[in-house]
Amino acid sequence: MQTFKQYPFSEPILKALEKLGYEKPTNVQQAVLERFNENQDLIVQAQTGSGKTMAFALPICEEVDWEGRYPQALILTPTRELALQIQEVFFKVGRFKRIKAVGVYGKAPFGVQQKELKQKTHVVVATPGRLLDHLEKGTIQMKDIQCLVIDEADEMLKMGFIEDVRRIIEALPKHRTLLFSATMPKAICKLTEEMMKAPIPIQITPKQVTSKQVEARCYEVKTEDKLLSLMQLTKSENPECCMIFCNRKLEVERVYKALYEEGYNCAMLHGGMEQRDRFRVMEDFRRGHYRYLVCTDVAARGIDVKHVTYVVSYDVPEDKEQYVHRIGRTGRGKQIGKAAMLITKEEQKFTKAIEDYIGKPLVIEEMIDEVEVKEVEEAFKEKMAQPIALQKNEVEAIHQDILKLHINAGKKTKMRPVDIVGTLCNLPGVCAEDIGIIQIQDISTYVEILNGKGEKVYKQLQNTPIKGRMRRVSKVARRD
Ligand code: AMP
């Protein structure tokens, strides 16, 4: 297989890939990269965790014209969490090309997004509802969109987004569409074909919908013992990091409370929570602050937390595809994962559809008994007292080279990007390539200094005037 270096990527993209430690494209990336330049619509079916996001982020970042003022690519996605995650992938890949990706999703302040969209924006990652709000208010310019990506397409079109997606497509004057999804039911395939022009189908792993890297087991349990069974199972498995899926938010709350009281290092996530709290929980979980996350399927799609080693379906999902998405939260990249599902008598009616869908029988195992659990209780307690052994964070690797500075002057004092660039390029040892994204707000300016030169620039700016005056320059604390 080719390495990324053998593809005609520009230097800033190759540099980002190198920093991320990605050497070779995954199968889906290879397939998309091969066809991307044909400028046609693509329907890509690839299993969750196969590197789908990077498959579109890479060629889009490469293709974007940095000089362009208005968004050139639009990514539509069903959940806000996913939007944020995709935005981060663009941040990672487009770092050294200074690609600005703006997230446009609901339950976050409209005004902040509006301000961001007023500045140079290359890519917009959006959930449909909020994007339509911006379109209606005229706060987003879509005339330059060349590429529309519909991610998690089946879900997008199923969750009642179909009309929204149609309206968004109508607002795009010229574009090509790339459609990505792990699952692609026939009815949805047909719908998508209506919206696309002679799409090229790309199917990676056509039969196997669940990853071979995940060992999945099921346990028959009594309804009244379900919670106890969950505890027995998780204690005996004693995973490094675990997601527990329930079908309803009330159940999430109940399970979370019980686990918390039992001494589990856990958090919960469901759609009824404030968006700010949802992001915070997800971020903390990603950073390894919690070993367990009890959640609804709001977290099942696309969410990429590398160190998840165990996924439990506390309830059997009523939608067979959801089973695959849940399992896909572990065994990410090249890692091995484990999954378990608890099945009560009432839930047995859903298992046949899952078996048909994954093309193999579910493996039913005996529930471990309490005696065994006692033996593992000590090990469990010990683990709960320890921090999670985290993998080296990829974003971290890139951030090491970047420092964001705040300057206490902005639009009100007529600060323009050229003033910042001019000042910085006059500093000894600093050139245009060392300057990242510049954001000018009313009374503040943010500028990112790349290539590890941040500290030096920060010190020099303490006694260098910007636009004729000394300014207060400070370092901005990193978000992660
Ligand atoms: P996705 O299917 O987009 O959710 O990606 C799954 C995981 O694979 C993510 O953690 C990516 O960071 C990782 N990944 C994507 N592309 C590559 C690559 N070429 N080499 C190694 N890891 C990758």
pLDDT in tens, 264-274: 999 999 988 88
Mean pLDDT over 196-216 rounds to 75
- Mean of all residue pLDDT scores within the chain: 87
Task: Tell me the CA–centroid distance for residue 225 and ligand 1, in Å.
Answer: 38
Of 459, 480, 461, 457, which is closest to residue 471 (Cα–Cα)? 461
pLDDT above 90: percentage of residues in the chain: 53
Please tell me the residue having the least CA distance from ligand 1 atom 1: 51
Q: Is the pLDDT of residue 89 over 70?
A: yes
315 lines ligand 1 (CB under 6 A): no
The continuous run of DSSP H or E covering 131 comes out as helix 128-137
How many CB atoms are closer than 10 A to CB 475? 13
Ligand 1: which atom is nearest the Cα of residue 89? 12
**Tally of CB atoms within 10 A around 145:** 22
Q: What is the mean pLDDT of residues 193-222?
A: 79
**For range 75-103, the mean pLDDT:** 93
Amino acid letter for position 129: G
CB 317 within 8 A of CB 245: yes
Enter the pTM of the model. 0.65
**Model pLDDT, residue 207:** 45
Question: With a 6 A CB cut-off, is 332 part of the ligand 1 pocket?
Answer: yes
> Per-residue pLDDT for 397 more than 60?
no
Question: What mean pLDDT comes out for the span 271-298?
Answer: 86
Asked if residue 331 has its Cβ within 6 Å of ligand 1, the reply is: no
Asked whether residue 391 carries a pLDDT value surpassing 60, the answer given is no
pLDDT digit string, tens, across residues 57-73: 999 999 999 999 999 99
Best residue among 54, 60, 125, 149 to mutate for probing ligand 1's pocket (most ligand atoms within 8 Å of CB) is 54
- Cα(185) to ligand 1 centroid in Å equals 24
Tens of pLDDT, residues 306-343:
788 999 999 999 888 888 888 888 877 667 889 999 99
Q: Is the CB of 22 under 6 A from ligand 1?
A: yes
* Contact predicate 153/82, CB 8 Å: no
Cα(190)–Cα(177) distance, rounded to whole angstroms? 15
Residue with the two structure tokens 């400070």: 474
pLDDT at 221: 93
Amino acid 176: pLDDT: 94
Write down all domains in the chain, each with its CATH number in brackets. Answer: 4-203 (3.40.50.300), 214-385 (3.40.50.300), 399-475 (3.30.70.330)
What SS3 string covers 418-477? HHHHHHHHCCCCCCHHHEEEEEECCCCEEEEECCCCHHHHHHHHCCCCECCECCCEEECC
pLDDT band at 302 (very low <50, low <70, confident <90, very high): low
For position 259, what pLDDT does the model report? Answer: 97
